[in-house]
Amino acid sequence: MYSMAWTHIIWDSTPGGNVEHVEEHGLEPEEVDYVQLHGNRHESERWTTVRFRLHTRWALHHYCLRRDRRRHDYAVDGVRSRRALKDEPMAKELKHINRQLTEEEREQHAAIREGAKQDFPPKATTRPSPPPGIPSRICNTREQRGMTRYEVGQNANVPSTVVRAIERGDDVPLSQLKAVAAALGLSIELVEQASAHALPKRSHRRHTLPPLGELFLRQVVLTRDLVSHLVTHTGDVYADS
């Protein structure tokens, strides 16, 4: 480190400026070296001026080197801006490898799933029973044959939602009801049409009910294995044969 002879320090006009000694500000030789390396220097043959920011105030330090020492030139690297800095990832990128699990890994995963079921058992869900009549008969027949709603829908060429609607007792087109019954080996027939005098008197207002709204006036027979049940669309049983 150089031996330096300080002459004077010129501060700005803010309060507390215009001091005469470096010791009053507690400057150390290491700080002087830092200023000499990183400051804004204007060198001459004898004097070197360093301008830097100290304690939020700009100061001009004039110092000279002793004549019996050789003066060295320092290479100061310019500070790069934030735009010049590149984002360097702190961790390596993850590489996904698609491969088949080994038998040992499959056993480990099965043990983990079994332990999770024991620690957090699934809640028991009770399926609501279908309404009596045609919905319950179709649901029981499907379960006896071990078929799912999707399989019944595929055989009947109808969506599985139609099969679910029938088992819940919702209104569905009669053609779809016959198709689902035929897929399960059942047959649905209209045995009697309601007589004209039994029909309720209609008012002059426009009829707003859907076409299936009058199906409750019809009698439907559900036949399977030589057993007949005379029922209505609502599922009320009238007679057994």
Of 41, 65, 89, which marks where a domain is finished? 65
How many domains, the chain? 2
Asked if the structure places residue 10 within a domain, the reply is yes
Asked if the structure places residue 45 within a domain, the reply is yes
Asked if the structure places residue 58 within a domain, the reply is yes
Cα angle value 212/218/161 (rounded, 5°)? 40
Pair (142, 45) in one structural domain: no
Asked if the structure places residue 72 within a domain, the reply is no
Domain harbouring 165, CATH code: 1.10.260.40
Asked if the structure places residue 51 within a domain, the reply is yes
**What would the pLDDT profile of 229-240 be if each residue is shown by its tens digit?**
444 444 444 444
Q: How far apart are CA 81 and CA 52, in angstroms?
A: 18
Q: How far apart are CA 142 and CA 237, in angstroms?
A: 20
pTM of the model: 0.33
pLDDT at residue number 163: 92
Among 161, 153, 159, which residue's Cα sits nearest to residue 182?
153
Q: What is the strand order of the sheet 187-192 is part of?
A: 187-192, 219-224, 227-231, 237-240
Asked if the structure places residue 172 within a domain, the reply is yes
Pair (53, 151) in one structural domain: no
Pair (60, 150) in one structural domain: no
Asked if the structure places residue 89 within a domain, the reply is no
pLDDT at residue number 88: 65
Of 50, 65, 80, which marks where a domain is finished? 65
pLDDT at residue number 28: 56
Residue 98: CA count within 13 A, CB half-sphere: 0
Pair (140, 227) in one structural domain: yes
**Digitized pLDDT (tens) for each residue of the chain, 241 residues in all:** 443 444 334 433 344 443 444 455 555 555 555 555 554 444 433 444 444 444 433 343 434 444 444 444 433 344 444 555 566 666 777 777 788 889 999 999 999 999 998 888 877 777 788 888 889 899 999 999 899 999 999 999 999 999 999 999 888 898 899 899 999 988 877 665 444 444 555 555 554 444 444 444 343 444 444 334 444 444 444 444 3
Of 18, 34, 65, which marks where a domain is finished? 65
Asked if the structure places residue 123 within a domain, the reply is no
Per the structure, the complete domain to which residue 39 belongs is given by 4-65
Residue 77: CA count within 13 A, CB half-sphere: 3
Token couple for 195:
């007589």
Neighbours of 210 (CB within 10 A): 9
